[in-house]
Structure 1
């Protein structure tokens, strides 16, 4: 929603409001404090159900605009807050330049999250009057309970026939929790196992501890028993057509981290390196595909595919002259066939699965996977990746280096 000038001026002037934060600039400690505020507004602990606003270019003591030069670079830096991977799950926010009281101000408008709690660098920030604070156990319970009544994406839907016994406690506590919360929070955290699962969205709630789709995929004992399409089919073909002999095939399933690690092993095993003795005085080793480019595209396929109402896996078919990666489900949200793959155009069918990939270390920054793959392929001498997007699939074709 876009707030009117009158609404913004009211928030700007109310220095005691728990819906407004003011910073004179975006320098020094301001980027850290602004991200904490965005996280707190997304959590909306008071339950306003209304947007919180961060003003950049306004004095904190009285809300008076200071005449900051609101440049495109500043607006881009503020917009990057949403997708730089530090605030998870992604906050719903807009960034714009507004003229208030005759002076320009950068305005970040943050909507309450459908699926709190939201964390910034492993800490759940909340708003207590005009102050930011870190949530205590009771605050977390309030946020966890509120999540049950939102319009949740499929990755947070509970699996009605699953129980806590379907989740692996050891994996959750030793592999996932340390990445999801900062060490000092875990050290001071006396939450129960069920409360920790709920805070990480692995179960619906403490009162209703049914594993979610996310929980089954990330820390489930046998994820595919609960989500039949949760696997990847790999084929290595000795030729350029499907009827050629099969060199290697595998059905890769298990927990999310296991799937991606096994896929990495497969990709490494089938990348070939040749020695170029003709293009220079020094021999040059050339790979037919850069490893990191294929990793980016495969992880994108796992992250963005649909897991709902289908039994189809992600398919990777490796021919002698190309690699094809096909994922079920077409473009999602603001992404369509016309703008697919364009820098800055991204949306998330499975936002909490994306968060899990970040927690597990498979994603460093969101929204740059395709751009990164393109650059790596170009640097290696491969043609650009080709994208075929339909209503029910996305096919990526990567051709071998020339």
Structure 2
């Protein structure tokens, strides 16, 4: 990611007419909301600068320093704009403290997105000169067109053998759209069905209505007809070895929402609750595994797996002493076997699938699943989760209480 020099930053700071610059005296009050609108607009890059936009915290409208203290807490709050899930697809940004004009300032540098349009809380923000505004229908079409010429992640590749009739119009209009867009945006929406699908990356474009991988996984009628590995294989094994008897098994398919909900029901049925009414004055409810820990690893397995060139499913094998969740595809991008699971080290093979999981409520924020799992396992009295990574898979083992 490009790191601008002090000279470049001061030039932007002084240019009050630039659509690549926004200045805020502090990050208090409603600035947090406005800053996210700015990040969304810079990510969309409607003027097509192909250059980073910069948000200055600690500067007045004329570029003079405001004297705002730039603390670690402020920098963390700014960095949280990237992963709190309110801006989708996830923006590419950096946060740093710099000395400009003799004063500390927080610098948020935002790169143009390869996957426009980008939304903040269901609205598409853009820059029109030095101001930000909501995109109209024509501006939205321009952003859709631009996406065709970028290097796309696999989750929005078209599936040539699929047709628009292979995705569910009722699920899209009645479930996905109300969750993905603000109510006022939907009320004022004059876009066609095809234009709305294209904006959400479910098809290539209004003219080319070929469904994408995302469209089939999110709202497809039968995604496994086109992506045969996109299912979850569940086994409940009465023992500690794969050769032991299988007492429950199911291949769980359907859209992402359906397969996650059905798998969670299966896991809940096997995670039997024990009630202790003898060892303490009040009864204690115990579970072999904390539900939140299993959920986080399951969601991560579906989100981060590879869907390309494989027929392998996500495997959930429940033994008497442990649960193993196997996700096809090894660590991706900035995440390696060496740094896997470290706080702050994240990357996304399927960023648009992440947006769908956030929209449907499975993910509240990004990059926190492993930390949540570790915390919940410790609280429940289980050993820490174990991870094994290689080029072809990530396997998480959750062990029962000792």
TM range (shorter): over 0.9
Partner residue of 1:341? 341
**Cα deviation code 1:129-164 (max 9, x no counterpart):** 111100010010000000000000000111112111
C-alpha separation in 2, matches of 1:82 and 1:2: 17
C-alpha separation in 2, matches of 1:160 and 1:353: 19
Alignment of 1:193-204 (within 5 A): 193-204=193-204
**Cα deviation code 1:190-230 (max 9, x no counterpart):** 10000000110001111221111000100111100111111
Partner residue of 1:91? 91
Offset at residue 275 of structure 1 (A): 2.9
Alignment of 1:83-162 (within 5 A): 83-162=83-162
C-alpha separation in 1, matches of 2:6 and 2:205: 39
Partner residue of 1:7? 8
C-alpha separation in 1, matches of 2:279 and 2:155: 50
Matched, 1:306 2:306: yes
Partner residue of 1:226? 226
C-alpha separation in 1, matches of 2:85 and 2:201: 17
C-alpha separation in 1, matches of 2:310 and 2:270: 29
C-alpha separation in 2, matches of 1:189 and 1:283: 54
Equivalenced residues, count: 401
C-alpha separation in 1, matches of 2:7 and 2:375: 46
C-alpha separation in 2, matches of 1:282 and 1:202: 52
List structure 1 runs of 4+ shifted beyond 4 angstroms. none
C-alpha separation in 2, matches of 1:282 and 1:179: 41
Offset at residue 64 of structure 1 (A): 1.0
What TM-score results when the alignment is normalised by the length of structure 1? 0.98
Partner residue of 2:35? 34
Q: 3-state DSSP class of the match of 2:81?
A: coil
Query: Which stretches in structure 1 are left out of the alignment for 5+ residues?
Result: none
Alignment of 1:2-401 (within 5 A): 2-60=3-61, 62-277=62-277, 279-401=279-401
Offset at residue 278 of structure 1 (A): 5.3
Q: What's the RMSD between the two structures over aligned residues?
A: 1.0
More divergent stretch after superposition (281-290 vs 356-365) = 281-290
Query: Which stretches in structure 2 are left out of the alignment for 5+ residues?
Result: none
Offset at residue 280 of structure 1 (A): 2.5
What TM-score results when the alignment is normalised by the length of structure 2? 0.98
C-alpha separation in 2, matches of 1:277 and 1:178: 45
C-alpha separation in 2, matches of 1:88 and 1:317: 32
Q: 3-state DSSP class of the match of 2:83?
A: coil
Q: 3-state DSSP class of the match of 2:330?
A: coil
C-alpha separation in 1, matches of 2:172 and 2:201: 12
Offset at residue 277 of structure 1 (A): 4.6
